[in-house]
Amino acid sequence: MKPASLRAALVAAACLTMAVSAGAQERYATPPPVVLSPDLAAPWVMQLQPRPIAGSSVRSNARKVIFRDAPAATAPRAQPVSVQRPANPAKTRGMDPIYLPQTVAYHGPEAPGTIVIDTIDRFLYLVLGNGSAQRYGVGVGKPGFEWAGSHKITRKAEWPSWHPPAEMIEREKAKGRILPIMMEGGPNNPLGARALYLGSTLYRIHGTNQPWTIGMAVSSGCIRMRNEDVMDLYARVGVGTKVIVR
């Protein structure tokens, strides 16, 4: 073998020996310590607990029930509101807030300025025009004293005196209640702060000293309102105003 070839063979053998030695040292060297994440380092029992999935609304708490709105196509239609009235008006001292005055939509045939009284739902409407009306809660005639018709306001009175009809006096006397022949106007007067007289009848739209009866059928046929409401209506209408009672 030539000297040059012998030298190359020796160099190659030396490189191979160094590579094998390095590989053996790397393979059998002590590996670096394994670093556990905080979750995996916890006791194994804790690792069994379900975890929320990141970026998801899924909850692991099976006891929690999430209610979602029904799709628009299957959502139930709104039901008419049923007005609940106390069974014993005489023992009630509160008025349902539904009977407080408010402006509502109105698309009926009556002309602006007309008063329309719904004795079923116990509301009085003053038609304002432009598709709206001012609505007030009222008390109406008790069973046997209901009536319907159309009249005009023929007289207006502030803090009116009360002259109970003879029929009422006799009727109440049979119940053991003595009514006066006449009572001057004032806070204790059953007609309240204002009265609007209807045609030539004995019926009136008037205030009351028993505001908790608004929304109930307890009168002898008159339409009663809270004093503050009848005062507001009184200022808005005049003699000759048409009143429709249904």
Are 220 and 168 in contact by the 8 Å Cβ rule? The answer is yes
Q: Where are the domains of the chain?
A: 92-245
Which among 200, 193, 219 has a CA at the least distance from the CA of 152? 200
- DSSP calls for 149-180: EEEEEEEEEES--B---HHHHHHHHHTT-PPP
Which among 84, 229, 218, 230 has a CA at the least distance from the CA of 140? 218
Q: pLDDT tens digit string along 110-168?
A: 999 999 999 999 999 999 989 999 999 999 999 999 999 999 999 999 999 988 888 88
Which among 93, 77, 66, 116 has a CA at the least distance from the CA of 213? 93
Catalytic residue status for 206: yes
Average pLDDT, the chain: 75
Q: Is the pLDDT higher at 17 or at 200?
A: 200
Task: With cut-offs at 50, 70 and 90, classify the pLDDT of residue 9.
Answer: low
Active-site hit among 107, 151, 163, 222: 222
With a cut of 60, say whether residue 62 has pLDDT above it.
no
Active-site hit among 15, 107, 151, 206: 206
Catalytic residue status for 163: no
Task: With cut-offs at 50, 70 and 90, classify the pLDDT of residue 66.
Answer: very low
User: What pLDDT shows up at residue 88?
Assistant: 40
Write the class of the CATH domain 92-245: mainly beta
With a cut of 50, say whether residue 82 has pLDDT above it.
no
Sign for the CA dihedral angle at 168, 174, 177, 181 comes to positive
